[in-house]
Amino acid sequence: MLLRTDAFRDFDRLTARVFDTAQRGTGAQLDAYRDGDAFVIAIDLPGVDPAGIEATVDRRVLTVRAERKPTAPTGAKFVVRERPTGVITRQVVLAESLNADQLEARYADGVLTLRVPVKEQAKPRRIEIVSGGPESGTAEPELTSA
């Protein structure tokens, strides 16, 4: 049997182990985006028991902690082992414009979705424009919420 090696693939694997770019056991991949009047963070946590997920906010730092337990029987001899197990943590610094007191969290299909509303004073405001020059009176423009 001829076994081929790919030096670049082997180098990529070594680099991933050294720099932990595969997020093995320490982190989880996420997406973060603005959706209307909320900031949404979606974190991949496949294979994690929802009862074991912990999300906390301390001084604007959101920390998500979960544990992915091994599914293979004790003593199993792996041929390939790419699925990380152990404690998974991820931290995100929340902007001051977000209302962390009203943070909502949902877990479905292996994804933890956190929704943080934007504070009222941080929302864009529409400024009413008054027509006419300075000689037309002393009308002040009104600020209204959009």
DSSP-derived secondary structure for 28-58: --EEEEEETTEEEEEEE-TT--GGG-EEEEE
CATH code, domain carrying 43: 2.60.40.790
Q: What is the mean pLDDT of residues 47-68?
A: 93
Kindly state whether residue 45 falls inside one of the protein's structural domains. Answer: yes
Kindly state whether residue 18 falls inside one of the protein's structural domains. Answer: no
C-alpha to C-alpha distances, 7 to 11, 16, 24, 142, nearest whole angstrom: 6, 14, 22, 67
- Short-list 101, 103, 130, CA closest to 114: 103
Kindly state whether residue 127 falls inside one of the protein's structural domains. Answer: yes
Kindly state whether residue 14 falls inside one of the protein's structural domains. Answer: no
Q: What is the mean pLDDT of residues 118-124?
A: 74
Kindly state whether residue 13 falls inside one of the protein's structural domains. Answer: no
14-34 tens-digit pLDDT: 555 555 544 444 468 999 999
Kindly state whether residue 4 falls inside one of the protein's structural domains. Answer: no
Kindly state whether residue 131 falls inside one of the protein's structural domains. Answer: yes
User: What is the per-residue pLDDT for 25?
Assistant: 43
pLDDT confidence tier of residue 84, bands split at 50, 70 and 90: confident
Q: What is the mean pLDDT of residues 99-117?
A: 94
List strand residue ranges (DSSP E) for the chain, in order.
Answer: 30-35, 38-44, 54-58, 61-68, 86-93, 104-108, 111-117, 125-127, 143-145
Range of the domain at 78: 25-145
CA dist 79 and 76 (Å) reads 10
Kindly state whether residue 15 falls inside one of the protein's structural domains. Answer: no
Tell me the two tokens of residue 48: 């994690």
Tell me the whole-structure pTM to 2 decimals: 0.65
Domains contained in the chain, number: 1
pLDDT confidence tier of residue 87, bands split at 50, 70 and 90: very high
- Short-list 119, 114, 115, CA closest to 96: 119
Q: Give the highest mean pLDDT range of 82-91, 100-109, 112-121, 132-141.
A: 100-109
